[in-house]
């Protein structure tokens, strides 16, 4: 079969991408309400909802303070940091987005905190002193995405080996062009 | 085991550095633990992971949604169906797909049986860790019965790829109802037999009671979930506190320990098998007839957005974070593996214990390295 010339390929039809709908349950509604009152003092903080997850977007300088507030205030009581995710938006917006998923075992809440970091200097304060579970998640983010955590010393490779170069989690890391070895 | 000698800086005692793993039968996979000991006491430990890192999360970004289910099979390779379910739930939540009743029941029955199989494997291997060979044979005998049922339903013993987005792959065979009831009869006796064989054994008690203690507050701080957290007295089970699928319809208890030691972590799992049997009993008697899958497009293009689901896998809180940009492939998939977080607490649990207990404490967390390293 002859190869198709690149000019013959029809241009991709513009598809309008639908967005997910919000559907908060009762617990989420309550959390949304009390969260709105508590974070009024932080500039740049905004609350949104992603399906059933209350999402708080803050500046990276406020992260440690907000996390302490959320963990130690009785009405929130986020005693359990579920996971830390890095999402790579380097190509389009030149940012890395850190997503912290918190769960309150006592109050049965859950929420996400989002922090955007510039891709040329992705540095964020460490939350290790607040939740010990942040330890390996932060080291993993450092390994795979090259995120730097302010105030942390032991960021030795966790999943990769010492001599590994590059950040394989990033979208820019070559993926399918490896050879046989 | 390799042994290095070095003189420690802080005292005149000689610390020994003992290297356990990565190729060691009692590390349950390729896990390396570096232990510094002072005599028989553990001074410090340093876990090394990553020997099984395959970049599963990155591979997910280049596969279509329905192709990813097989990758989740390979994360927690002892509780595969629970891993599959977590991913499918995430996509269904994103696309607002309503799963037919019958499929939900089949999923719950298989996932709970999978939990029993996983705990039975733990039971056998943990006995082996403690130096008892017989429990291994009994644990595997019970697990084999569950595996046979899985084989008849899914066609595979381990990598099932049975739970699909929108439902399940195909309907269960005609004799499923009969087989499950027979299996439950066997399992009830099997769990009791296993329990009576090891749990109150004097030597087993001496090895596990009061060893590797972690209290509930510390456990939560370290992100420990599942049986390991409940053993420390925290009542948390995602099936109850944040119910997914149809778990809110069943009546079952949450076994909770009190001391947070190795024995509690072991016994919570034994009790959990009994609770799982209760769930399967209720589900099999109420399973409706009907469709086994929702109408799902062959190429799934969810709306743009993010979703995070929490599920209770045999090892703990298995979370899946999915970012979709509206195309046929996910923009980012993040797995929150329970074993990964549980393993972090190992350093705390091993503080001031004897080196002979290191294997038992590690075994009591029940890690699966496929899930830790991803």
3-state secondary structure A160-172: CCCCCCCCCCCCC
SS3 B344: helix
B306 to A21: CB separation less than 8 angstroms, yes or no? no
Touching check for A101 and chain B: CB below 8 Å? Answer: yes
Touching check for A4 and chain B: CB below 8 Å? Answer: no
Domains and CATH numbers, chain B: 3-48 (no CATH), 56-373 (1.10.645.10)
Interface test mutation site (partner A, options B48, B91, B223, max chain A beta carbons within 10 A): B223
CA of A84, closest CA in chain B: separation in Å?
Answer: 8
Which residue is associated with the tokens 């510390």?
B218
Identify the CA nearest to B261 among candidates B218, B209, B219. Answer: B209
Residue A22 clears pLDDT 80, i.e. is over it = no
CA of B238, closest CA in chain A: separation in Å?
Answer: 10
pTM: 0.87
Touching check for B297 and chain A: CB below 8 Å? Answer: no
- Residues in chain B within 8 Å Cβ distance of A51: 93-94, 305-307
A82 to B310: CB separation less than 8 angstroms, yes or no? yes
Neighbour-count burial for B286-311, b at 16+ CB within 10 Å, e otherwise: ebeeeebbbebeeebbbebbbbbbbb
B222 to A103: CB separation less than 8 angstroms, yes or no? no
Q: Which helix (H) or strand (E) holds B168?
A: strand B167-168
**B200-222, pLDDT tens digit by residue?**
888 889 888 888 889 888 898 89
**Are the CB atoms for B165 and B88 separated by under 8 Å?**
yes
B344 to A133: CB separation less than 8 angstroms, yes or no? yes
What's the CA gap between A131 and A148, in Å, rounded?
Answer: 17
pLDDT at B103: 92
Touching check for A99 and chain B: CB below 8 Å? Answer: yes
Asked if this assembly's ipTM is beyond 0.90, the reply is: no
* pLDDT band, very low/low/confident/very high, at B7 (cuts 50, 70, 90): very low
**B66-83, pLDDT tens digit by residue?**
889 999 988 888 889 999
Stretch 229-248 of chain B: residues touching chain A, C-beta under 8 Å: 234, 236, 241-242
- Residues in chain A within 8 Å Cβ distance of B334: 83, 85
What is the sign, positive or negative, of the torsion defined by CA atoms of A92, A96, A100, A101?
positive
Residue B164 clears pLDDT 60, i.e. is over it = yes
B32-38 and B41-48 strand pairing:
antiparallel
Q: Mean pLDDT for chain A?
A: 81
Q: Mean pLDDT for chain B?
A: 87
**Lookup: tokens for B194:** 């296993």
Q: Which helix (H) or strand (E) holds A97?
A: strand A95-104
* pLDDT band, very low/low/confident/very high, at B149 (cuts 50, 70, 90): very high
SS3 B3: strand
Touching check for A136 and chain B: CB below 8 Å? Answer: yes
Segment A81-94 mean pLDDT:
88
Find, in chain B, the residue whose alpha carbon is nearest to that of A161: B50
**A56-81, pLDDT tens digit by residue?**
888 888 888 888 888 888 888 888 89
Domains and CATH numbers, chain A: 20-173 (3.30.460.80)
Residue A11 clears pLDDT 70, i.e. is over it = no
Identify the CA nearest to A112 among candidates A47, A156, A22. Answer: A47
pLDDT at A8: 53
Q: What percent of chain B has pLDDT over 70?
A: 95
Q: Which helix (H) or strand (E) holds A100?
A: strand A95-104
Residue B102 clears pLDDT 80, i.e. is over it = yes
pLDDT at A14: 59
What's the CA gap between B267 and B230, in Å, rounded?
Answer: 11
């Amino acid at each position: 079969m002859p190869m198709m010339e690149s000019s013959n390929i029809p241009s991709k039809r513009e598809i309008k991408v639908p967005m997910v709908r919000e559907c908060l349950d009762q617990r989420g509604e309550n959390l949304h309400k009390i969260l709105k009152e508590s974070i009024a003092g932080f500039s740049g903080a905004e609350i949104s909802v992603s399906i059933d997850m209350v999402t708080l977007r803050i500046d990276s300088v406020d992260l440690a303070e907000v996390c302490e507030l959320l963990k130690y205030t009785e009405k929130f009581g986020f005693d359990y940091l579920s996971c830390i995710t890095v999402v790579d938006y380097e190509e389009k917006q030149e940012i890395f987005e850190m997503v912290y998923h918190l769960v309150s075992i006592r109050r049965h809440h859950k929420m996400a905190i989002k922090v955007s970091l510039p891709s040329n200097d992705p540095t964020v304060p460490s939350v290790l002193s607040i939740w010990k579970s942040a330890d390996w998640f932060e080291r993993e983010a450092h390994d795979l995405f090259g995120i730097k955590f302010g105030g942390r010393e032991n960021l030795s490779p966790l999943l990769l080996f010492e001599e590994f170069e590059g950040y394989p989690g990033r979208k820019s890391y070559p993926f399918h062009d490896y050879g046989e070895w | 085991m390799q042994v290095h000698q070095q003189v420690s800086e802080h005292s005149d005692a000689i610390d020994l550095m003992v290297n356990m793993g990565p190729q060691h039968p009692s590390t349950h996979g390729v896990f390396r633990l570096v232990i510094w000991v002072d005599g028989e006491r553990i001074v410090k430990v340093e876990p090394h992971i990553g020997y099984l890192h395959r970049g599963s999360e990155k591979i997910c970004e280049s596969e279509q949604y329905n192709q990813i289910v097989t990758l989740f099979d390979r994360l927690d390779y002892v509780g595969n169906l629970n891993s599959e379910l977590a991913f499918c739930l995430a996509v269904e939540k994103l696309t607002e797909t309503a799963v037919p009743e019958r499929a939900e029941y089949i999923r719950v029955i298989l996932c709970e049986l999978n939990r029993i199989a996983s705990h039975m494997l733990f039971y056998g291997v943990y006995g082996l860790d403690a130096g008892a060979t017989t429990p291994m044979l009994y644990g595997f005998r019970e697990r084999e019965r569950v595996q046979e049922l899985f084989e008849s339903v899914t066609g595979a013993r381990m990598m099932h790829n049975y739970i699909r987005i929108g439902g399940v792959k195909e309907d269960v065979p005609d004799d499923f109802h009969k087989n499950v009831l027979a299996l439950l009869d066997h399992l009830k006796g099997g769990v009791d037999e296993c329990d009576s064989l090891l749990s109150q054994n004097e030597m087993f008690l001496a090895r596990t009671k009061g060893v590797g203690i972690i209290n509930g507050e510390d456990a939560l701080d370290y992100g420990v979930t599942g049986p390991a957290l409940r053993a420390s007295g925290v009542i948390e089970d995602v099936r109850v506190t944040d119910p997914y699928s149809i778990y809110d319809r069943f009546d079952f208890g949450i076994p909770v320990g009190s001391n947070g030691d190795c024995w509690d972590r072991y016994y919570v799992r034994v009790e959990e098998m009994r609770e799982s049997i209760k769930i399967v009993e209720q589900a099999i008697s109420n399973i409706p007839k009907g469709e086994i899958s929702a109408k799902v497009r062959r190429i799934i293009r969810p709306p743009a957005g993010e979703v995070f689901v929490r599920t209770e896998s045999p090892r703990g809180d298995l979370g899946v974070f999915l970012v979709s940009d509206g195309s046929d492939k996910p923009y980012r998939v993040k797995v929150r593996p329970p074993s990964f977080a549980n393993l972090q607490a190992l350093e705390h649990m091993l503080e001031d214990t004897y080196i002979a207990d290191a294997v038992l404490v590690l075994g009591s967390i029940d890690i699966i390295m496929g899930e830790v390293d991803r």
